[in-house]
Amino acid sequence: NWMNRQPGSRFQYPYNHRRVGRVNLFADLNRGDGYLPAARKVLPPMPHPHLPLLMELSSCPGPPGGEQQLARLLQSQMEDFCDIRYDGLGSLLAEKPGLLERPRLLLCAHMDEIGFMVQSITDKGFLRLQPLGSWNTLALAASRLVIHTGKGDVPGVIPAIPPHFKKQAESQRDTDEILADLGVFSRQEVQEVGVMLGDLVTPAPRFDIFGLKVVANKAWDDRAGCAAMVLAMQHLDKKVHSATVIAAGTVQEEVGGRGATTAVEVAKPDLAIVLEGAPADDLPGLAKDEPQGALGRGCQIRLYDPTTIVNRKLWQWARDLAAGHNIPHQLAVRQSGSTDARPIHVAHGGIPTLVIATPVRYIHSPVGLLHLDDFEATVALLKIIVETLDLKTFEYLTSYKKP
């Protein structure tokens, strides 16, 4: 038991993220291991069938450049019925042939989460961290971390300056000054526990259920998208479908969409759907008008962000499918942000690309909140799309000669 380890023994990562295979045991939530103690069994009256998968994916570490463990986990979920390959950057591509070679539909969810890299070690034994992705720095103080070293995982915490020592004007942490405290007191001690420059760092996972339908953990951006992608592909395993569907778990989205840039060259799709965990805007005082990404109101169909104007026929088709099947959905015109749609939609002479997201509160911080109904709406819409897309629909969506 990791809680009862002997002083001086090696710390073991308290969540068994290395376990692979299809996740289908709800009992995982009640084992009492890792960050879900047996004494805290706050479970809904009717267990949700996808909780184990959501817990497994969101708890698995996968910072930019270190997505391999998550890739193996996703592969284990799809390799029984898909052809698996990887591109040169490490993005996973799982292809499920349809009745026809075309259209080729790419489902894309990025595997990486925002994290850090060890940039330097101070004489006093603190780590100076290089952010990988854009952090909400106000949420970092006193956050627990896991440093992933060649010898194992090492726990740490981001220092929090007590108010007694803070100047009145200090309100926001500078990302250039993010440190990690390992509970050691010299550079030599840091080296003895196995930490080196370049080691990757992620928030410590803690999966919780709030109320009856909200789940909390790190990395919903974009493990929500990864889970939806897996469930859609598993749904196709039992269906006859026209389109050939490629599921891509991309790397390094949080540092510039690099994995999608290479994965699209390998997949060569005709259409693409990017799956995301998008920032919820339903906090008090945040939205000027009606929220476009509120928890509990369904999946989000994005029409615009500063890097992508979504193909109009494509989003209208998705909207009509959602409405016709009574799937709760929200339309969003985002004034900030970017997704893997940015490199995909301008590749190969132009690829019509749709963005479907599950809203997440407190995105790009150590913990986010996801509503299970919104996630189910995302999965439901995605299943209908992959089932119904055929050559006739594809030709309509990609024709610019006809209205």
Active site residues: 253
Give CA–CA dist 212/372, Å, rounded: 9
For residue 185, give the amino acid letter: F
Per DSSP, which regions of 111-237 are E strands?
115-121, 126-132, 144-149, 152-157, 179-181, 200-203, 208-210, 214-217
The structure tokens 């189910």 sit at 376
Structure tokens at 106: 């790419």
Are 109 and 163 in contact by the 8 Å Cβ rule? The answer is: no
Residue of 365, 347, 337 whose CA lies nearest to 357: 337
Partners of 83 in the beta sheet? 95
Element (H, E) at 223: helix 220-236
Burial of 6 (0-12, 13-18, 19+ CB in 10 A): exposed
Give CA–CA dist 190/187, Å, rounded: 5
Residue 330, Cα to own-chain centre: how many angstroms?
Answer: 20
Residue of 91, 359, 322 whose CA lies nearest to 225: 359
Q: Is 61 left (phi over 0), alpha (psi -120 to 50) or beta?
A: beta
Element (H, E) at 308: strand 308-309
Q: Alpha helix locations (H) across 273-371? A: 312-324, 341-344
The structure tokens 């070690």 sit at 121
Hey, how many other C-beta atoms are within 10 angstroms of the C-beta on 107?
A: 28
Partners of 325 in the beta sheet? none
Strand, helix or coil at 28?
Answer: helix
The residue length of the chain stands at 403
